[in-house]
Amino acid sequence: METAVAVLTGLYFAVSIYLMLSRHIIRILLGTVTLSTGANLTIFAMGRITREVPPIIPSGLYLPAEGAANALPQALVLTAIVIAFSLFAFLLVLVMRSYQELGTDDTYAMRDAEPEGEPLPPLGY
């Protein structure tokens, strides 16, 4: 099961790197979303995937049964999903605003903060 998830995670990372190599902001945005999904799947796989025994402590015992599913990665993934989602929401608005203001989503043309062809600093008075 971990092997299958590992292959899937690898695919996610490959897709995200391909998208992030693009010049266009919207593809980079999709690339980062795919990257965080890949990261979440990595956490999930790292907790070892079992599904036969639910992580519930039987009555009268103090430990879950042998081979029970690991509940901690789910808490970690849940936290990471919430954070990644809020960042995605922020980035989506940021990208839309900068497209409206700058009139482009091409990173080569986004040179407002660092204009091209600036003069050299003065060499003397």
Partner 1 sequence: MAAAERPAIDPADAFVMEAPALADWLIVMPLVIGFIFAALCLMTRKDTRRQPAIAITGLVLILLCVVGLFVHVLVNGTVVMAMGRWLPPFGIAFVADMLGATLALISGIVGLATGIYALREADNTERRYGFYPFLLMMLSGVICAFLTGDIFNLYVWFEVLLLGSFGLLILGSRRDQLDGATKYAFLNLVATTLFLIAVAYVYGLFGTLNMADIARKAAVMDEVGPRLTIAALFFFAFAMKAAAFPLNFWLPASYHTPRLAVGAIFAGLLTKVGVYALLRILLTIFPADRDDLAVAIAVVAAASMLLGAIGALAQTDMRRVLGYLVISGIGIMLAGLALGSATGLSGTAFYTAHSMVVMTALYLLVGIVGAAAGTFDLHRAGGLYATAPWLAVVALVLAFSVSGLPPFSGLWPKIFLVKASIDVGAWWLAAAILVSGFLTTIAIVRLFAFAFWRPAHPDMRSLSLAEVPVARLGLPVLAGLCGLTVIAGLYPEPFIQVSDRIAFELMNPAGYIDAVYAPMPAAAEGAVQ
Sequence-distant (6+) residues with CB within 8 A of 36 are: 80, 84, 87, 88
Pick one of 52, 66, 114, 116: the residue that binds partner 1 (CB under 8 A): 114
Shortest separation between residue 112's beta carbon and partner 1, angstroms? 4
Q: Kindly state the tokens that stand for 54.
A: 């639910």
Q: Kindly state the tokens that stand for 97.
A: 């605003």
Cα–chain center distance at 98 = 21
- Residue 73: CB atoms within 10 A of its CB come to 19
Site string for partner 1, 16-35 (x = CB under 8 A): ----x----x--xx--x--x
What is the C-alpha R_g of the chain?
23
Judged by CB under 8 A, the chain residues 53 through 112 that form the site for partner 1 are 60, 62, 72-73, 76, 79-80, 83-84, 86-87, 90-91, 94-95, 97-98, 101-102, 110-112
**Residue the block writes with tokens 């790197």:** 17
Residues that bind partner 1 (CB under 8 A): 20, 25, 28-29, 32, 35-36, 38-39, 42-43, 45-48, 60, 62, 72-73, 76, 79-80, 83-84, 86-87, 90-91, 94-95, 97-98, 101-102, 110-114, 118-122, 125
